[in-house]
């Protein structure tokens, strides 16, 4: 049986980085001389099965066209939307229904090629619609009191609780329909898996490296710089 093994990376990059409180969208902040977005694209394109990337960019983005990779043949750009789900939908809906979409946050540059490979192995697993990189929760989880946000209401069980990361891998057609259904029904869609789960698809959890952090707040930058240096050292040893 032949499997469609070509993969398109889809990179939602239309956010404005409010929580980062920087003078520009966080994906354009630099680490080791490259923008965070460029680190992320390099990470994705390092896997031999990833042969194209679609970026969903903010309509007012004037930085992206100035970057060195902008005119590369392996890159396409679509307009992002008001929410991350809209940005992903605008990109994924341009793909053939049977294409594999590897959706990955622009704000997650510390992605290893090994973790991409672990997730792409799901393309041959017909028991699931796709899957996501994730890490098991390590800390005790507390639910705050609904009206007293600094007071503990109760302790949540951390049994079988995971942090969802990206990339998240699904067939473009199924993902397009799931996001459209979720947006129409008002389902909260904060990642691709939540849309797929809502319409009944099986989603596999693939344990990934917790270094694959989402750069969100200023204190994440030095941590990401450290993890990127570790990835570079590992790459140089290979």
Ligand X SMILES: Nc1ccn([C@@H]2O[C@H](COP(=O)(O)OP(=O)(O)OP(=O)(O)O)[C@@H](O)[C@H]2O)c(=O)n1
Least separation, in Å, of the C-beta of 1 and ligand X?
35
Based on the shown chain and the rule CB under 6 A, indicate whether residue 168 belongs to the binding site for ligand X: no
Based on the shown chain and the rule CB under 6 A, indicate whether residue 190 belongs to the binding site for ligand X: no
Based on the shown chain and the rule CB under 6 A, indicate whether residue 19 belongs to the binding site for ligand X: yes
CA distances from 89 to 7, 180, 197 (A): 16, 8, 16
- When binding is defined by CB under 6 A, the residue of 7, 10, 27, 130 that contacts ligand X is 27
Least separation, in Å, of the C-beta of 104 and ligand LQXTBERG?
9
Least separation, in Å, of the C-beta of 153 and ligand LQXTBERG?
23
Q: Judged by CB under 6 A, which stretch of 13-21, 69-77, 143-151, 192-200 contacts ligand X?
A: 13-21
Based on the shown chain and the rule CB under 6 A, indicate whether residue 199 belongs to the binding site for ligand X: no
CB 88 within 8 A of CB 178: no
Q: Which is nearer to ligand LQXTBERG, 86 or 171 (CB)?
A: 86
18 binds, among ligand X, ligand LQXTBERG, none (CB under 5 to 8 A by kind): ligand X
User: Segment 39-58, which members bind ligand X (CB under 6 A)?
Assistant: 56
Q: Which is nearer to ligand X, 63 or 128 (CB)?
A: 63
Q: Which is nearer to ligand X, 81 or 123 (CB)?
A: 81
Q: Which residues bind ligand X (CB under 6 A)?
A: 12-20, 26-27, 56, 80-84, 87, 105-107, 214, 216
């Amino acid at each position: 049986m032949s499997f469609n093994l070509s993969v398109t990376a889809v990179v939602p990059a239309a956010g404005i980085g409010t929580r980062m409180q920087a003078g520009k969208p966080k994906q354009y902040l630099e680490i080791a001389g490259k923008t965070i977005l460029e680190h992320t694209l390099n990470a994705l394109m390092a896997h031999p099965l990833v042969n194209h990337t679609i970026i969903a960019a903010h309509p007012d983005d004037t930085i992206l066209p100035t970057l060195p990779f902008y005119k590369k043949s392996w890159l396409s750009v679509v307009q992002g939307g008001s929410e991350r789900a809209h940005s992903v939908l605008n990109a994924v809906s341009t793909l053939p229904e049977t294409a594999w979409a590897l959706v990955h946050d622009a704000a997650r540059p510390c992605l290893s090629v090994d973790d991409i490979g672990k997730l792409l192995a799901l393309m041959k697993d017909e028991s699931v619609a796709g899957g996501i990189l994730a890490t098991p929760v390590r800390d005790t989880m507390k639910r705050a009191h609904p009206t007293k946000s600094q007071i503990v209401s109760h302790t949540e069980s951390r049994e079988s609780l995971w942090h969802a990361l990206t990339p998240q891998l699904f067939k473009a057609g199924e993902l397009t329909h799931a996001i459209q259904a979720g947006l129409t029904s008002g389902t909260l869609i904060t990642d691709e898996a939540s849309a797929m789960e809502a319409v009944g698809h099986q989603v596999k959890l693939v344990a990934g490296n917790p270094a694959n952090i989402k750069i969100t707040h200023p204190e994440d930058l030095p941590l990401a710089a450290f993890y990127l240096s570790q990835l570079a050292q590992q790459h140089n040893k290979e």
